[in-house]
Amino acid sequence: MRKALLIALIGITVVIAVMVVWHGSDQGEGPGERLTLYGNIDIREVTVAFKSSERIAALHVEEGDRVEVGQLLGSLEMVRLERLLKRADARMTSQQAQLAALEAGTRPEEIRRARAEVEAAQARADNARRTYSRLQNLLERNLTSEEQVDEAKTARDAAEAQLRAARESLQLAEKGPREEDIEAARATLGALEAEVALAELDLAEATLESPVAGVVRDRILEAGEMAFPQRPVYTVAIDSPLWVRAYLPEPHLGLVQTGMGAWVVTDTFPGKRYRGWVGYISPTAQFTPKSVQTEEVRTRLVYQVRIIVCTPEGELRLGMPAEVHIPLSGNSPQGPHECGESR
């Protein structure tokens, strides 16, 4: 009786153990029902640099700090940039005044002065003509010399020329500036306005803001060093989304499609698995095959794949080895809509 009871207990224990193993093996996935790939955690990185060339005044974050989009990372010395902006603004203001004067036309006082000058020139011309006529009459009676008559003629011609010049000046004053001069002044003002805008932009770009959300991986420069657009200041690691960079053997290429759910596990957290999905499959083999391939060599070709990973806890790090399980049947995690990440 005891022997039979012992055999029954052993049988029950074996059944429970098999059920536990079966349940823990990816919830019903046998070895032939899933595809296992090996790779490393990968992320994108952004190198951040100032857009202007100037000495760095201050840097506000260190390696390991988390930054958000638009967060202030550092600033440049602004004295020279502020003075350049002030000079450009003064030149623009001066040109604005000149354009306004041209568009307003000639002032009434200037027109009245031009008319007065015409009247004065007219009087001088009339007097010069009378003098010349009188001396000619005297010359006919031998009461004056030819030299005096010639001088009177020259004075008359000069007075008439001054009268014509005064009349033309009055006409110009009444017509006002030419449209061509106004357009030229407007174009000059536009160029100066562009200079002011550029100076304002240079001043605004003297501060460095983070273009992405992530973690500062490297702080390359320090305060006091010269910054250039080609010289990075920080390297920021974008920790969302994360993915596993793995390689798919060519014979299994037809079993995997983008969007398929997957599980990711690591040695760091052996009892934990992360949801993910196949986000990318390379259209070409990792290594270019030779022109002639045997069947044995063809089976060694691999294709790069990216498995996007949902990691709200932030536990996965760049370069961490990872194991990917892609269920081919049975229970499978949902695809891209599971954690709101884009593929």
pLDDT digits (tens, 9 = 90+) for 281-311: 888 876 644 433 444 545 577 888 898 987 7
pLDDT higher at 176 or 95: 95
Q: Which pLDDT score, from 0 to 100, does residue 111 have?
A: 77
Query: Residue 90's pLDDT band (boundaries 50, 70, 90)?
Result: very high
Q: Within this chain, do residues 137 and 172 fall inside the same structural domain, yes or no? A: yes
Q: Which pLDDT score, from 0 to 100, does residue 72 have?
A: 95
Query: Residue 1's pLDDT band (boundaries 50, 70, 90)?
Result: very low
Interval 12-30: pLDDT, tens: 333 333 333 333 344 444 4
Q: Within this chain, do residues 70 and 153 fall inside the same structural domain, yes or no? A: no
Residue 3 included in any domain = no
Distance CA 327, CA 29 (A): 7
Q: Within this chain, do residues 60 and 127 fall inside the same structural domain, yes or no? A: no
pLDDT higher at 92 or 105: 92
Query: Residue 83's pLDDT band (boundaries 50, 70, 90)?
Result: very high
Q: Within this chain, do residues 212 and 143 fall inside the same structural domain, yes or no? A: no
Tokens of 116: 């007065």
Q: Which pLDDT score, from 0 to 100, does residue 85 have?
A: 94
Q: Within this chain, do residues 90 and 180 fall inside the same structural domain, yes or no? A: yes
Q: Within this chain, do residues 146 and 225 fall inside the same structural domain, yes or no? A: no
Average pLDDT over residues 33-48: 88
Could you say which of 201, 224, 247 is where a domain stops?
Answer: 201
Where would I find the beta strands (DSSP E) of the chain? Answer: 34-48, 54-59, 66-67, 72-76, 207-209, 214-219, 226-227, 234-249, 261-265, 273-281, 302-309, 321-327
Tokens of 228: 């250039």
Residue 39 included in any domain = no
**Range(s) of the domain holding residue 158:** 85-201
Number of residues that make up the chain:
343
Residue 306 included in any domain = no
Could you say which of 234, 252, 286 is where a domain stops?
Answer: 234
Residue 144 included in any domain = yes
| Phi, psi (degrees; rounded to nearest 5) at 53 | -100, 110
Above pLDDT 90, what percent of the chain?
28
pLDDT higher at 338 or 38: 38
Q: Within this chain, do residues 157 and 60 fall inside the same structural domain, yes or no? A: no
Q: Which pLDDT score, from 0 to 100, does residue 11 have?
A: 41
Q: Within this chain, do residues 149 and 90 fall inside the same structural domain, yes or no? A: yes
Number of domains composing the chain: 2
Tokens of 290: 């030779």
Interval 243-256: pLDDT, tens: 888 888 888 888 88
Distance CA 175, CA 185 (A): 18
- The CATH code of the domain that includes 58 is 2.40.50.100
pLDDT higher at 8 or 292: 8
Q: Within this chain, do residues 113 and 211 fall inside the same structural domain, yes or no? A: no
Q: Within this chain, do residues 72 and 98 fall inside the same structural domain, yes or no? A: no
Phi-psi label, residue 340: left if phi above 0, alpha if psi -120 to 50, beta otherwise: left
Residue 305 included in any domain = no
Residue 28 included in any domain = no
H or E element at residue 214? strand 214-219
Chain mean pLDDT for the chain: 80
Q: Within this chain, do residues 189 and 215 fall inside the same structural domain, yes or no? A: no
Average pLDDT over residues 25-44: 70
Residue 52 included in any domain = yes
Task: Answer whether residue 63 shows pLDDT above 80.
Answer: yes
Q: Which pLDDT score, from 0 to 100, does residue 27 have?
A: 44
Residue 150 included in any domain = yes
Q: Within this chain, do residues 134 and 219 fall inside the same structural domain, yes or no? A: no
Q: Which pLDDT score, from 0 to 100, does residue 7 have?
A: 43
CA 171 to chain centre: 54
Half-sphere exposure of 98 (CA within 13 A, CB side): 17
Interval 262-285: pLDDT, tens: 889 888 888 888 888 898 888 887
Interval 116-159: pLDDT, tens: 888 888 889 888 888 888 888 887 778 778 888 888 889 989 98
